[in-house]
């Protein structure tokens, strides 16, 4: 590869924010390794966005497939460093903690947290932890969420994964300092992507036998409404681009259509925030059926 052209890896590139990042980086003249789980998604990205897209096929829960993709990338980079890793692949698991099947929580953490670790271990050397490579060290941008700061009821598995990703981001940044590899997070609020339609596949009726069914129905409708009215994924891609290219990127960049609410939640006493959220969802003692 020509070492004047920089390259990035974007995980979970088939749809939504990941795809928007691929489009942005290619438009800026970068080569983009786009991780997808199905070969046909990679071919589609290449056909729609251009030859600068190099599909890599792996699931972030599949260590050997990730290692194979890292070998392919090492060969393609021909001794140069990778310019950026955008850890974007993720899922959102919902359900009330008292009744949530344990495997659902395990899946959430495996994809959104351990998955990011697998990817960092495989591609970290190419970002410059392998000191035999030439070129400037790359940067890691983790796609966290505003759910990394505040846990909404019934989407706590997701919030746990994003709180954990915040710790991962902070600690990894400190550990990678000797290599000059900076690590930052982007914290989107509602963004209009397919993730919200997948929320529909969380069938609230599976919790029909619990005291929570009414507030859960309310939350699912609220989430779908907010998601579909969210910012376009390109708004996040612009923030990712700034995080990769600015000389001193912000450690957390919040991208949301509701900056005031976000700010208010951040400064509000936590008991007050609890009251506001529980009241809004009908999570009050008098809301329970006798």
- Report H helices in 188-229: 195-198, 213-228
Nearest approach, Cβ of 139 to ligand NAD (angstroms)? 17
* Min CB(88)–ligand NAD separation in Å: 5
Least spacing, CB of residue 158 vs ligand NAD, in Å: 7
User: Does residue 244 belong to the site contacting ligand NAD (CB under 6 A)?
Assistant: no
Q: Closest Cα to residue 52, out of 89, 6, 87, 3? A: 6
According to CB under 6 A, which residues from 109 to 138 bind ligand NAD?
111, 115
Nearest distance from residue 90's CB to ligand NAD, in Å?
Answer: 2
Q: Are 164 and 105 in contact (CB under 8 A)?
A: no
Q: Are strands 7-10 and 84-87 parallel, antiparallel or unpaired?
A: parallel
179 is catalytic: no
Residue among 1 and 105 whose Cβ is closer to ligand NAD: 105
**Catalytic option among 158, 179, 212, 222:** 158
Task: Tell me the residue number closest to ligand NAD, measured at CB.
Answer: 16
CA pseudo-torsion sign 43, 49, 53, 56:
negative
Across the beta sheet with 139-143, what order do the strands follow?
53-57, 31-36, 7-10, 84-87, 139-143, 182-188, 252-255
* From 143, 184, 185, 239, residue interacting with ligand NAD (rule: CB under 6 A): 143
Quick one: which of 145, 155, 142, 277 has its CA closest to 224?
A: 155
Is 157 a residue that touches ligand NAD (CB under 6 A)? no
Please state, in angstroms and as integers, the Cα–Cα distance from residue 258 to each residue in 229, 230, 250, 263, 280, following that order: 11, 9, 19, 9, 17
Round to the nearest angstrom and report the end-to-end CA distance of the chain: 69
Residue whose CB is less far from ligand NAD, 80 or 172: 172
By C-beta, is 14 or 253 nearer to ligand NAD? Answer: 14
14 binds ligand NAD (CB under 6 A): yes
169 in contact with ligand NAD (CB under 6 A): no
Please state the closest distance from residue 192 (CB atom) to ligand NAD, in A: 7
Figure out which of the listed residues 7, 8, 10, 18 binds ligand NAD, where binding follows CB under 6 A: 18
In total, the chain counts a number of residues equal to 290
DSSP state of 81: P
Residue ranges in contact with ligand NAD by CB under 6 A: 12, 14-18, 37, 59-61, 88-91, 111, 115, 143, 145, 188, 190-191, 193-195, 198, 227, 230
User: Which residues are tagged catalytic?
Assistant: 158
């Amino acid at each position: 590869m020509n070492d004047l052209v920089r390259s990035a890896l974007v995980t979970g590139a088939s749809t939504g924010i990941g795809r928007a990042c691929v489009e942005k980086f290619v438009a800026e003249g970068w080569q983009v390794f786009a991780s997808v789980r199905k070969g046909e998604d990679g071919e589609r990205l290449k056909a729609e966005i251009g030859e600068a897209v190099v599909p890599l096929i792996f699931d972030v829960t599949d260590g050997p497939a990730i290692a194979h993709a890292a070998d392919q990338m090492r060969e393609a980079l021909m001794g140069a460093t990778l310019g950026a890793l955008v850890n974007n692949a993720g899922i959102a698991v919902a359900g009330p903690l008292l009744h949530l099947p344990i495997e659902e929580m395990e899946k959430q953490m495996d994809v959104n947290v351990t998955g990011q670790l697998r990817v960092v271990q495989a591609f970290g050397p190419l970002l410059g932890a392998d000191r035999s490579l030439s070129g400037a060290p790359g940067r890691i941008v983790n796609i966290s969420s505003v759910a990394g700061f505040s846990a909404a009821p019934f989407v706590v598995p997701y919030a746990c994964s994003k709180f954990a990703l915040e710790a991962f981001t902070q600690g990894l940044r400190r550990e990678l300092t000797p290599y000059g590899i900076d690590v930052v997070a982007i914290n989107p609020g509602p963004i209009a992507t397919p993730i919200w339609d997948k929320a529909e596949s969380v069938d609230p009726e599976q919790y029909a036998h619990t005291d929570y069914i009414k507030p859960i129905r309310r939350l699912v409708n609220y989430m779908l409404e907010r998601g579909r009215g969210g910012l376009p994924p390109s708004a996040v891609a612009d923030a990712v681009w700034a995080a990769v290219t600015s000389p001193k990127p912000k450690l957390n960049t919040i991208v949301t259509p509701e900056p005031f609410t976000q700010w208010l939640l951040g400064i509000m006493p936590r008991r007050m925030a609890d009251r506001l959220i529980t009241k809004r969802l009908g999570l009050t003692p008098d809301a329970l059926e006798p």
